[in-house]
Homo-oligomer: A and B are copies of this chain.
Amino acid sequence: MTIRVLVAEDQQAVRAGLVLILRSAGDIEVAGEAADGEEAVRLARSLRPDVVLMDVQMPRLDGVSATRQVVAEGLADVLVLTTFDLDEYVFGALRAGASGFLLKNTEAADLIAGVRTVARGEGLIAPAVTRRLIAEFAAPKPARQPDPAQHAAVAALTPREREVLSCLGQGLSNAEIAARLEMAEATAKTHVSRLLGKLELRSRVQAAVLAQELGL
């Protein structure tokens, strides 16, 4: 059960070093080597390796784009390798579907362990990068502050009113809400009116926006 690895790295010397390291592991086989992103994708298609060890900075097609391609076609798991832990690379690579992210100053043993980890289908992030990933994850968007006050106000709504609010968030009219919740249109209007009052909003549009922001 050897792990077949495709090494994609444009600098010949570095690539040779990576190959040497990988070969030193008994359970890893270097299935192929690519010198740019396009070649990486092409070889991934034909060789069907288990793991692609992908450099970020490469000519013709950068590593992030190549990763996106490989992942989209379901060809292999991708372990991204870079010299710098620049945020844009990390986040870009992970959004592109990379299974892991390591820095080039990683010890040989850790690199091998990383390849094994990714081959098992698990994720892997260089420790130095993890804390920033966590920070980014904890606050995906500055605008994604649901405003505790609003959240509390929504929690104070009756169940029926929250259902109606959810419908509003989907852009439904009073008549459509009434149909979906099986009530008269007049009743739907009442609920809309009441929740607008409780949330201190002036129109269903604002309610819809709020429902969107809170992810209903």
Q: A residues near B, CB below 8 A? A: 91, 94-95, 97-100, 117, 120-125, 127-134, 136-138, 140-141, 143, 168-173, 201-206, 208-209, 212-213, 215
Contacts and interface: CB of A to CB of B under 8 A. Distances in A.
B203 A141 contact: no
B138 A137 contact: no
Contact of A123 (B134, B173, B201): B134
A211 to B, nearest CB: 8
B117 A123 contact: no
Nearest to A211: B209
A213 to B, nearest CB: 7
A53 to B, nearest CB: 17
Given A95-B137, A169-B209, 11 more contacts: A98-B134, A99-B131, A122-B130, A133-B133, A140-B141, A171-B205, A172-B205, A204-B205, A205-B205, A209-B212, A212-B212
Contacts of A141: 140, 215
Contacts of A123: 125, 127, 129-134
A97 B131 CA distance: 10
A108 B149 CA distance: 44
12 contacts: A95-B137, A122-B130, A123-B125, A123-B130, A125-B125, A133-B137, A137-B137, A140-B140, A140-B141, A171-B201, A205-B205, A212-B213
Q: Nearest 5 pairs between A and B by C-beta?
A: A123-B130, A171-B206, A123-B131, A122-B127, A212-B212
